[in-house]
């Protein structure tokens, strides 16, 4: 995908992020071991079919991942990760296609994905795992989602203060690399280096992220904290996921990252219809 076409896709996404309507990011894991859908879409045919279905169901963005970020997941080499995501990105990217996000913490994967057509880097390590990530984002003119991920769990921290400090450091890193503030999204990082209670806490204090004026992405889909509260297995956590997602939109979230696109589209449409009623 040539640069001008890719930048046009990126800028259309930026326009939508600035609008009041929340967006849905559909999850496309091309991995054998993701916690919820590992192995379900790890062939090119299955990945393309699932992408088409999510587009039909109302997805606004597709997030493609080639390495499981579940707790305890096995690391994947750079070349193995690229082998998994290269064809799906290449086949799904296009001037008139849904914008693509690459779910990676590796700078070289971010660069290659951008060249293939991805416009957003979704880094669950918040540009802290690979020291070259900030430069990769800046040089490819990509958007980046920075996740609040401390790298280790500490139940004694002041959550609001720690989030604010983490994102302050992230903004400084982005400034040094030359990433425009308008190209940054923030994620509270539910499930990443947090206690059970802190997963609820970051959602309750979402205003820390919203107040930065950056778009906020929330990803709670089918996660274990929902299962622990409800007692439901991973395949039966839709109700809890919807509740947390809609509450996040109420608190100012801009994007919901989800497995169940159709259900979230219906729920968001209802939520917005009530909100816009006279």
Q: Is residue 58 within 8 Å of 261, Cβ to Cβ? A: yes
DSSP 183: G
Catalytic residue status for 10: no
Whole-number Å distance between alpha carbons of 208 and 1 = 36
Look up 223 and say whether it is catalytic.
yes
Neighbours of 137 (CB within 10 A): 27
Residues 6, 112, 257, 265: which is the catalytic one?
A: 257
- CB within 8 A of 149, min separation 6: which ones? 124, 125, 126, 128, 189, 192, 193
Contact between 96 and 115 under an 8 Å Cβ cutoff? The reply is no
Query: Is the Cβ–Cβ distance between 93 and 1 less than 8 Å?
Result: yes
CA 105 → CA 69, 93, 125, 198, distances in Å? 10, 20, 6, 23
Catalytically annotated residue among 6, 194, 223, 237: 223
Positions marked catalytic:
223, 257
């Amino acid at each position: 995908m040539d640069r001008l076409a890719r930048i046009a896709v990126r800028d259309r996404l930026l326009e939508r992020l600035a609008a009041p309507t929340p967006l849905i990011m559909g999850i496309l894991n091309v991995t054998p071991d993701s916690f919820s859908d590992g192995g379900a879409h790890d062939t090119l045919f299955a990945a393309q079919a699932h992408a088409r279905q999510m587009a039909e169901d109302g997805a606004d963005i597709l997030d493609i991942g080639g390495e499981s970020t579940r707790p305890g997941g096995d690391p994947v080499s750079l070349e193995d990760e690229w082998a998994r995501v290269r064809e799906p990105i290449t086949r799904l990217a296009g001037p008139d296609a849904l914008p693509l996000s690459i779910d990676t913490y590796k700078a070289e994967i971010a660069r290659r994905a951008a060249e293939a057509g991805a416009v957003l880097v979704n880094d669950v390590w918040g540009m802290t795992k690979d020291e070259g990530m900030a430069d990769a984002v800046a040089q490819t003119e990509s958007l980046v989602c920075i996740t609040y991920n401390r790298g280790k769990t500490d139940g004694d921290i002041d959550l609001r203060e720690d989030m604010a400090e983490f994102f302050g450091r992230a903004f400084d890193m982005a400034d040094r690399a030359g990433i425009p503030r308008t190209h940054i999204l923030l994620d509270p990082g539910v499930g990443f280096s947090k206690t059970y209670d802190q997963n609820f806490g970051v959602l309750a204090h979402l205003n820390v992220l919203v107040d930065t004026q950056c778009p906020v992405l929330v990803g709670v889909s089918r996660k274990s904290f929902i299962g622990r509260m409800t007692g439901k297995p991973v395949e039966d956590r839709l109700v809890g996921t919807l509740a947390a997602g809609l509450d996040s939109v109420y608190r100012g979230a801009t994007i919901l990252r989800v497995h169940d696109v159709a259900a979230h589209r219906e729920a968001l449409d209802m939520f917005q219809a009530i909100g816009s009623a006279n």
